[in-house]
Amino acid sequence: LPPVPALGPKHEVDIQHLSPPIHPVHPDVKMKRLPFYDVYDELIKPTTLASTSSQRFEEAHFTFALTPQQVQQILTSRDILPGAKCDYTIQVQLRFCLCETSCPQEDYFPPNLFVKVNGKLCPLPGYLPPTKNGAEPKRPSRPVNITPLARLSATVPNTIVVNWSSEFGRNYSLSVYLVKQLTSVTLLQKLRAKGIRNPDHSRALIKEKLTADPDSEIATTSLRVSLMCPLGKMRLTVPCRAVTCSHLQCFDAALYLQMNEKKPTWTCPVCDKKAPYDTLIIDGLFMDILNSCTDCDEIQFMEDGSWCPMKPKKENQELCQTSAFSGIEASSLYTVSCEGKSALEGRKKVEVIDLTLDSSSDEEEPPAKKQCPVSSVA
């Protein structure tokens, strides 16, 4: 058969009758769920952005209509915050992705994309800085809120015109949804509602990490873990990590959700691996530790899964200085290593450093700094 001539977008339906498309109009594409949005309705199901081989720049037209109930949902969701612009928590959301059916797809914008909603140009996320020279600029993977451009009417339909650059061997899909935007506070409530993970899970992980490896000459007998959040450098309140993470260190759930609300990356701040919302757990063992140990920022886990608090560095330094100048043996205050203990027992006199001596001489080395070679126990 002779090739079908390229027809305008108005004749899209005619093309379907003349020649079956290479790619289905409505492929079985599933979009990846976004934690900060609950989907209420599907206004345009995932639809292929059909590319033609005859031209470099493509154009596609779409139409969707809102029901009276949907219009009412949007209008009554208007949120007016003091000092902030008016916004709707129920939104019309536009999403693009690769036309792949193997797994749920993340948002992915076609190159050189332009979108018009009801004849008005739709703002898109700005381009990310290129990772290397010559790399094609990319937009961040996120949905587009087109509510401000939508006709909030049940009688007048909405039109979307999409322009993009076609790529050989790569096709894209467009879809539109009615969604409710959630906040980090709501997501934290949902996470708490899932419950706190049994402390025995973490104890098993501790024992696994401290189990002696027969092939290794070095045996780890304890683990030191901070009770400070690596994100905010403040004490943990809701200790959290992903079930896929292999480390014990937790981060604060509230702060993690707040940061992803502003810029969704869903990356673990401890190991830099993906930590999506659905994989987050609240650690029961760390919750118990935080509730029972309020005056320390670091703890040490033992081989049997037990733990003890570590004294703050300032307190250690003060005690070390006091013991040096009062002549009290440090072994009475601390549990020390064998080397440190023998050195302390062998010390007959308190070493005194004369601070009035000139230490700038090149011939004499400055006196070695004293360190307190100890760790505290509960």
Query: Could you give the 3-state DSSP secondary structure of residue 172?
Result: strand
DSSP state, 220? -
Interatomic CA distance for residues 239 and 196, integer angstroms: 10
Backbone φ and ψ for 188, nearest 5 degrees, come out as -65, -40
pLDDT of residue 219: 62
CB proximity list for 121: less than 8 A, separation 6 or greater: 114, 115
Query: Could you give the 3-state DSSP secondary structure of residue 177?
Result: strand
CB proximity list for 183: less than 8 A, separation 6 or greater: 36, 261
Backbone φ and ψ for 158, nearest 5 degrees, come out as -105, 140
Pick from 250, 249, 248: which is nearest to 240 by CA?
250
pLDDT of residue 213: 62
Backbone φ and ψ for 370, nearest 5 degrees, come out as -85, 135
Give the sheet arrangement for strand 239-242, strand by strand. Answer: 196-197, 280-283, 239-242, 251-252
Interatomic CA distance for residues 189 and 277, integer angstroms: 13
pLDDT of residue 25: 81
Interatomic CA distance for residues 193 and 278, integer angstroms: 13
Whether the CB-CB separation of 56 and 165 falls below 8 Å is answered with yes
Interatomic CA distance for residues 211 and 367, integer angstroms: 41
pLDDT of residue 278: 96
Amino acid at 61: H
Calculate the CA dihedral of residues 261, 264, 267, 268 and round it to 10 degrees. Answer: 0
pLDDT of residue 371: 45
Token code pair at residue 128: 């990310």
Distance of CA 288 to the CA centre of its chain: 25
Token code pair at residue 213: 């490896």
pLDDT of residue 129: 84
Token code pair at residue 344: 């302390």
β-bridge partners, 374: 336
DSSP strand pairing (298-302 vs 222-226):
antiparallel
For each of the domains in the chain, give its residue range(s) and CATH number, in order of start: 37-129+136-182 (2.60.120.780), 186-309 (3.30.40.10)
Q: What is the pLDDT along the chain (378 residues), one digit of tens a residue?
A: 444 444 444 444 343 343 444 556 877 899 999 999 999 999 999 999 987 766 788 999 999 999 999 999 999 998 765 555 668 999 999 999 999 989 999 999 999 999 999 999 999 999 888 777 777 788 988 999 999 999 999 999 999 999 999 887 789 999 999 999 999 999 999 999 999 999 999 999 988 888 766 666 666 778 899 999 999 999 999 999 999 999 999 999 999 999 999 999 999 999 999 999 999 999 999 999 999 988 889 999 988 888 898 876 555 555 444 443 333 333 333 333 333 334 434 444 444 444 444 444 444 444 444 444 444 443
pLDDT of residue 163: 96
pLDDT of residue 305: 82
DSSP strand pairing (196-197 vs 280-283):
parallel
CB proximity list for 359: less than 8 A, separation 6 or greater: 366
pTM of the model: 0.72
pLDDT of residue 302: 87
Interatomic CA distance for residues 254 and 90, integer angstroms: 23
Measuring CA to CA, how many Å separate 255 from each of 184, 238, 268, 269?
A: 9, 9, 12, 11
